[in-house]
Structure 1
């Protein structure tokens, strides 16, 4: 039994190393949220077993969770870079399938069609607004800026304020509000499923997205000209890396000891 106990410990240490390595690899990834591995012990016992004589049979991976704490906000000076100072996610839709995903990476850009996109090319979601910038619907949709205004003047600049209001400026000196960025929150943020490119999708564990306005209620305000850095602390990860390495080595040594004992027993029998 000691062989399997030590082997489970080695496998779990390997999983821990993989999680830590993934965190370190994304220490400079915009909007990245680090993961943590949690483990639980395994015990095999029956109703007739004396609970005081149960040694346990190893451990298993209990969960790999995401830490959604706020990363450092870094000034970029670029008008279409946005960060969320607080809770919430930018909602984006795949331009082909319409599938919704959620991200904290706010490096946005306007493409030739006027669509506001994230770095993956997905369409940023927002609420339609009236001429005063007041949202007219609680149902978000794709944000697309008009390439010309009613007078035929071309779009020259796009700005986003702390309330997430997206406005377009035109060659004739006029400007008009276009949409307000919609932020998404979830009943259980820890249940979101990571799908890569610092994106998440809703799951049965997270619940459906609840949309709201930036800076209102529990939704964070928008910080323009700013991006949120990864929340990975390299000093913490290096300490965790050394701990996981020691755990692997200790379990390997226990396995080696069990092998030596088994060899002695076999030699006695011969």
Structure 2
């Protein structure tokens, strides 16, 4: 009796939720790529963490492979490299170029009624300024508007003209280099919902936290409220994963039988997507394995009885001769 073959079961295992942001599970086909010394290995064990150098590593220090972003852009399909958080990176300041005003001004307001709205905006150096809109009701039902960021030289004065509740003139102007859009402003009797809804500038910010998405993208959150892609984890698939050779520590290496790895982003071209905060557990069904063990044991017992019976028959034949 001898073992016919040993094969590895790469079927999907059960899911164990951990809540840890760097624990990754592949939902479907594929393997994480890790660099161990000068060798690229493959694994489905996603118990990763960032080390003191910001590198995403496995339990034994293997470096997870993928693509690091440059200015928030990932070149998928480019040269693979070890995933590394850019500690100390600065999300650059961006000057405010536009602001949007929405809502309703109170129709029928007494002449001289004044409404003031403000929003923080930014110059090219990331310095915070305050954009102030001062709107004053006129006798004819229109509204005078004064806008400024504190510098009289760049202030704006104009009129918001209405026909009924619809804005017909003055719905756009520029103040201190900021294009202000009031095109959605209306009037409504005794109701004021006017507000400066948004602006597109920001101060400079430092990296505060990160998260990993289902497609392997690592998203950085900065102190200025901005978000930026920092990198993306790669996933490899094989024509014949059963042909992979064991390398120890739940890792495998490619072989002639497995074929070359096909590398891409999670969730593309048949590759499984990622689940963050979870790990893939054993895919062994213990109850089935115990059943198989009992069946094998009974088979062995039956064969042993055959040998015993055969020996007894031969013994009887020997006795007959005597």
If the length of structure 2 is used for normalisation, what is the TM-score?
0.58
Summarize deviations over 1:29-83 as a string: whole Å, max 9, x none. Answer: xxxxxxxxxxxxxxxxxxxxxxxxxxxxxxx533222221111222211111110
Deviation at 1:226, TM superposition (A): 1.3
Written as runs of structure 1 = structure 2, the 5 A alignment for 1:55-134 is 60-94=2-36, 97-134=37-74
Deviation at 1:105, TM superposition (A): 0.9
Match among 198, 210, 219 for residue 262 of structure 2: 210
If the length of structure 1 is used for normalisation, what is the TM-score?
0.69
Equivalent pairs, count: 210
Deviation at 1:245, TM superposition (A): 1.4
Larger helix share, 1 or 2: 1
Corresponding residue of 1:225: 277
Deviation at 1:230, TM superposition (A): 1.1
Cα distance change on mapping 1:161 and 1:243 into 2, 3 Å? same
8 Å CA contact retained: 2:55, 2:84: yes
Deviation at 1:176, TM superposition (A): 3.6
CA distance, structure 1, for counterparts of residue 299 and residue 76 of structure 2 = 57
Q: Where does the alignment leave 5 or more consecutive residues of structure 1 unmatched? A: 1-7, 9-59
Larger radius of gyration: 2
CA distance, structure 1, for counterparts of residue 35 and residue 62 of structure 2 = 5
CA distance, structure 1, for counterparts of residue 226 and residue 33 of structure 2 = 29
- CA-based RMSD of the aligned residues comes to 2.5
CA distance, structure 2, for counterparts of residue 206 and residue 237 of structure 1 = 27
Q: Where does the alignment leave 5 or more consecutive residues of structure 2 unmatched? A: 92-203
8 Å CA contact retained: 1:148, 1:170: no
Written as runs of structure 1 = structure 2, the 5 A alignment for 1:1-270 is 8=1, 60-94=2-36, 97-150=37-90, 156-170=208-222, 175-261=227-313, 263=315
Deviation at 1:172, TM superposition (A): 6.0
